[in-house]
Structure 1
Amino acid sequence: MDIQQIIETVRGFDGALAVVPDSEPYPELSWGDAYFYFAPDGVMPERTQPYATITTKDYPDDTAFMLGPGRFRVNIHVGRDRATKLSDADAQSTGADVFLPHPLYGTMGWVCVVNPAANTSRRVLDLLRDAHDAARARTLRREEEA
């Protein structure tokens, strides 16, 4: 599965917004990455974090995965309990097609997969759908409370 396939799948979810920075006003470091939100109005939320991202390169505080050309990482918020069950404690960050805790946000319920393929691609898409549905439910609940 490649980056574009993932982005197009998420764009097919009702109310999904996929932001893929490629120029100003976004920081250059973010160019080529993708950020997924529930935003039925098509406007990136100002006070909401994405429910999933795709990272295409190493960031200064996140270098263990050796990302770059031909190597990307899908990051998904799945909740703490699910993250613990999904993550392969024996896998190395340099491995691909395995679920790992996110290197910075793993304790907050985020998992990641480098280059999803035969072992993880179906589950990655299912988790992206679940994360989208959870983000939608949170947004609708906030709107009702307001």
Structure 2
Amino acid sequence: MAPDEIVRQITARFPGVIPKASWGEVSLFYNPGGVLPNGVYFCTIKDHDGDNDKASALNRDGVFRLAIGLAPEDYRNLFGEKPARPAKGGTVNTGHDFTELGVLMPHPVYAWMGWAQILCPTEEAFAGMISLLEGAHRAAVVKFTSSLQKYLKASR
């Protein structure tokens, strides 16, 4: 699958999701109507290494990462307890080969926050992740609702 097809499918499937290009990646935010300045992001697509994020070797031709902020129970069910936060420029210690294509695994930098990654997902792999995306979207809706209430109180 191509990154733009993934963005198209996610925005078509999940109402209130807005893609935004920033920091050299496309972030998918839950922000219906653009009410909050940014909204709550739950999914990103990135195709190049960053200063503190080189473990997946995204600078290889045609390689990109689909990253998902999993619902806590989904992360636990898939990978167990979240690892410790890595030092700046480091990676989490999970025993995974973060360069492997087509395998859902903890995110090399943000697994401690419950994020997972898959490099270059096939259509079949993406279809198998729909329930995880649904959980991530539900969690984003909850965070958005809380953020919106705080935002509205502060703006009074």
Per the TM superposition, whether the score is higher than 0.5 is yes
Q: How does 1:39-50 map to 2 (within 5 A)?
A: 39-42=31-34, 45-46=37-38, 49-50=40-41
TM-score, normalised on structure 2?
A: 0.73
- Structure 1 residues 45 and 102: CA distance shift in structure 2, 3 A: farther
Cα distance, 1:118–1:10 mapped onto 2, change above 3 Å:
closer
TM-score, normalized by length of structure 1?
0.78
Amino acid at match of 1:19: K
Query: By how many angstroms is 1:141 displaced?
Result: 4.2
Structure 1 unaligned blocks of 5 or more: 22-29
Which position in structure 2 is the counterpart of 1:19? 20
The 3-state SS of whatever aligns with 2:48 is: coil
- Distance, in Å, in 1 between the alignment partners of 2:42 and 2:123 is 23
Q: Secondary structure at the match of 1:10?
A: helix
1 CA distance for matches of 2:73 and 2:137?
Answer: 18
Structure-2 separation of matches of 1:138 and 1:80: 13
**Structure 1 residue 85 corresponds to structure 2 residue 77:** yes
User: What pairs with 1:106-145 in structure 2 (closer than 5 Å)?
Assistant: 106-117=111-122, 120-143=125-148
State which structure, 1 or 2, has the greater radius of gyration over its C-alpha atoms: 2
C-alpha RMSD of the superposition: 2.5
In structure 2, runs of 5+ residues without a counterpart are: 80-93
Displacement of 1:94 in angstroms is 1.5
C-alpha contact (below 8 Å) 1:10/1:18 kept by paired residues: no
Pick closer, same or farther for the CA change 1:121–1:79 going to 2, 3 Å: same
How far apart, CA to CA, are the structure 2 residues paired with 1:18 and 1:44?
14
The answer to whether the aligner puts 1:98 opposite 2:103 as a matched pair is yes
Q: Is the 8 A contact 2:40 2:140 kept in 1?
A: no
Deviation per residue, 1:110-131 (Å, 9 max, x gap): 1100001155211333322321
Counterpart for residue 26 of structure 1: none
Does the C-alpha gap of structure 1 residues 110 and 18 become closer, same or farther in structure 2, counting only changes over 3 Å?
same
Tell me if the contact between 2:67 and 2:115 (Cα under 8 Å) persists in the aligned partners: yes
Percent of counterpart pairs with the same letter?
26
Distance 1:44 1:35, change over 3 A: farther
Asked if structure 1 preserves the Cα contact closer than 8 Å seen for 2:40 and 2:144, the reply is no
Task: Name whichever of 63-72 and 112-121 sits farther off.
Answer: 112-121
- CA distance change for structure 1 residues 80 and 134 in 2, over 3 Å: closer, same or farther? closer
Moved more, 134-143 or 97-106: 134-143
Paired with 1:14 and 1:35, the residues of 2 have a C-alpha distance of 15
Per-residue deviation, 1:133: 2.3
